[in-house]
Structure 1
Amino acid sequence: MSYRVVQWATGSVGRAALECVIDHPDLELVGCWVHSPGKKGRDVGELIGREPLGVTATDSIDEILALAADAVVYAPLLPRPDEVAALLRSGKNVVTPVGWFYPADTQAEPMRQACLEGGTTLHGTGIDPGGVTEVFPLMLSAMTAAVTYVRGEEFSDIRTYSAPDVVRHIMRFGATPAEAAEGPMTKLLDGGFRQSVRMILDTLGFTTTPEIRTVHEIAVATAPIDSPIGTIEPGRVAGQRFHWEAVAAGETVVRIGVNWLMGQQDLDPPWTLGEAGERFEIEIDGDPGTFVTIRGWQPEPGDPADAKNPGIAATAAHCVNSIPYVCAAELGIRTSVDLPMVTGRAHPRFLNTGQ
């Protein structure tokens, strides 16, 4: 069975998602919404450097709502609940990396109602949140009895993140510590990562009432640092750590977060990524314990500046690979705990085309 798919937005994740949809044997691209007027009216294949696909990009929400499609990969920079609700009411399932991973009732109720009206399903997934920070630790926890602690963490050199406007204006690298502390990043991350923590707590059965706290730490440059967003001057933000910790009965039982550094030189405090370098880590304490290091989702040293970021590609792939499972799911909000195990598909060259 082939599912008809719309891509919403063509930023870095959106472009990667388009490639995944095109290469997925069970999916057919039928529409694409774009924000930029310069992309409107162009063939989507041209937008991603491929042969023409016969699908024209549009900036009309009404055109997308009227389109006959099974699913939308909703990947804007910032989510708009009214857009998501409209897509759901129009009869389209929605998969997204920007929210609704494990929403609280107040956030979920409007979307549940939209799903009921449209007979549709909403699913949030990705890499973190949506992968390392809850889904994969929960999968690995099947190998452990009496779990006492779960950690999922990212360690990245942010110089390889190919979204300079986000790095400077939203993450606030290069700003003063006060500007970064008051910036939007903590609030933006807080909603998603707290959902990750709650998914772990609820699924593993931590029945005590935990305190979930957010920790934001900043490192500044001690000398000028060359970066993709320009020179970061001494005293300006060059490293940030965001962590979310659940404390139950006086013990930290869940810790998830990100460590983002603008290189590993000339920082105060003198943070580094450690001898292990860029990576994702998953740790579970119990009987027995588990420790997993994941590599391959960050650019390798020497990769060209315009190379596809593997972490962005992984985020997009997790969304796109979820589409058949979401389309087959019961209507409503379905989290990763509700769905069967999501897997990828073989490269098209290994598929029988009937020739």
Structure 2
Amino acid sequence: MAYRVVQWSTGNVGRWALRSIIARPELELIGVWVSSDEKAGRDAGELAGLDHTVGIAATTDADALVALKPDCIVHTAMADDRLMEAVEDLKKFLRAGINVVSSSPVFLQFPYGTLPQEAIDPIVDAAVEGGVSLWVNGIDPGWANDWLPLLLSSGCERFDQIICSEVMDYSTYDNPKVLFEIMGFGSALDDLPLLLQPGILSLAWGSVVRQLASALDVDLDGVEQNFERVPAPESFDFTGHQIAEGTAAALRFQVCGMKAGKAVFVLEHVTRLRPDLAPQWPQPAGKGCYRVEIKGEPDYVLDLQLVASDGEHSTAGLVGTAARLVSAVSAVIEARPGLLTAVDLPLTTGRGLGPVGTP
């Protein structure tokens, strides 16, 4: 019997999650929530970009979808600019007895030590009350900096430092709200956007270094953050927006888990609007990669390149985030009630997604 699933949003990630749900033989799509009247009433297959319909119409009626009592909601609605509202949405689902896999808010992928306990307890209480589970993950924060480094660490005699990096050319990433409002590209260097406000980087990615530390039995002294921005050398056009000379065009930040004055775990992002900017910073493998470096015995460097069928690494990142969530739906439904982290789940794979038929 297939698990009954509702897809919550059909944006950059949600569209791909919808495709992934439809492709999974162990899942049954029973509803789709959308935020706009323009999408309401349209078939899920159309919204997923498929060449066929699936007989499920999207709706803006959230209560009607909750009333369906699905086994799980795949929640991919953007939360960067509405964190507390998103948390309330998740709690509502959980209290209704619905399991949730979600791509946000990202600090919930491992909130311990990052959020105060009084912020965590109501979420756990809602899950226990409903007898269900919540799991927040993706690709970053997610499997590129939880399971990948943990797997590599199993091949070490010892490790002295683990660095997880996203090194990306964002020249084809079309998400103006994230790029301009949240990350501050195209703004004056002394005008700090939301992402670079004090404590925000550690709130968003401190969970990564704390989860690694917890899984590897390292008692951190604290978490520190730093960033550097590089201006555009001249004005240029970026996906229909003008990036003025002297405004922010490249960003590098680090969130570091500290022990005895040393950065034992490092989460790093190197983001460029053009590949020629900040040549002194780490360079990607291909147009973009997730990199795991372990310094110890032995040293390891793993570059994970992403390329989707359209040739774009940015598309591949969206697919990877969505598929990671959908792949875990069954495991989350079958898990203990509460707030789950990556180390709470068994290995989830792409089982059933390979080619069919005989060669």
User: CA–CA distance in 1 between the matches of 2:255 and 2:32?
Assistant: 35
Q: Which residue of 2 aligns with 1:320?
A: 326
CA RMSD of aligned residues (A): 2.2
Once the two structures are TM-superposed, the CA of residue 272 in structure 1 deviates from its matched residue by 5.4
Q: Which residue of 2 aligns with 1:248?
A: 259
Q: Distance in 2 between matches of 1:177 and 1:170?
A: 14
Match of 2:302 in 1: 292
Aligned residue number for residue 279 of structure 1 = 289
Moved more, 318-327 or 154-163: 154-163
Give the whole-Å Cα distance in 2 for the aligned partners of 1:275 and 1:191: 25
More displaced 10-residue stretch of structure 1: 104-113 or 145-154: 104-113
Q: What are the Cα deviations for residues 294-331 of structure 1, in whole angstroms up to 9, with x where unaligned?
A: 112x569x947xx9700110000100001111111111
One-letter code aligned to 2:331: Y
Give the AA of the match of 1:211.
G
Offset from partner CA, 1:136-177 (integer Å, 9 cap, x none): 111221111332211110110111213233222222211111
Q: Distance in 2 between matches of 1:211 and 1:351?
A: 53
2:129 match: 117
Residue deviations 1:172-200, cap 9 Å, x none?
21111122x24346566532311111001
| Structure 1 partner of 2:110 | 102
TM superposition score normalised by structure 2 = 0.89
Percent identical among aligned pairs is 32
TM norm structure 1: 0.90
The Cα of 1:67 is off from its aligned counterpart by: 1.0
Q: Distance in 1 between matches of 2:4 and 2:179?
A: 34
Aligned-residue offset at 1:233: 1.2
> Relative to structure 1, is the Cα distance of residues 47 and 291 closer, same or farther in structure 2, using a 3 angstrom cutoff?
same
Match runs of 1:38-117 below 5 Å: 38-50=38-50, 51-78=52-79, 79=83, 80-98=86-104, 99=106, 100-104=108-112, 105-117=117-129
1:347 matched residue in structure 2: 353
Corresponding letter in the other structure for 1:102: F
Indicate how the Cα distance of structure 1 residues 86 and 340 shifts in structure 2: closer, same or farther if over 3 A, else same. same
CA distance in 2, matches of 1:237, 1:66: 46
- Cα 1:77–1:271, aligned 2, differ >3 Å: closer, same or farther? farther
For 2:141, the aligned partner's letter is P
How many angstroms apart in 2 are the aligned matches of 1:147 and 1:204? Answer: 10
Match of 1:167 among 168, 175, 179: 179
In the aligned structure 2, how far is the partner of 1:60 from the partner of 1:351? 40
Please report how far the alpha carbon of residue 3 of structure 1 lies from its aligned counterpart in structure 2 after TM superposition.
0.9
After TM superposition, give the deviation of residue 56 of structure 1 in Å: 1.4
| SS in structure 2 at match of 1:143 | coil
Taking the aligned partners of 2:37 and 2:158, their CA distance within structure 1 comes to 55
> In the aligned structure 1, how far is the partner of 2:230 from the partner of 2:279?
8
Contact 1:43 1:52 in 2 (8 A): yes
Equivalent residue, structure 1, for 2:209? 197
Aligned to 2:153: 141
How far, CA to CA, are the matches of 1:295 and 1:236 in structure 2? 29
Shift of the 275–68 alpha-carbon distance from structure 1 to 2, 3 Å rule, reads closer
Gaps of 5+ in 2: none
Question: Is the contact made by 1:119 and 1:331 (CA closer than 8 Å) also made in structure 2?
Answer: yes
Partner SS for 1:49: coil
For 2:246 and 2:202, how far apart are their aligned partners in 1? Answer: 26
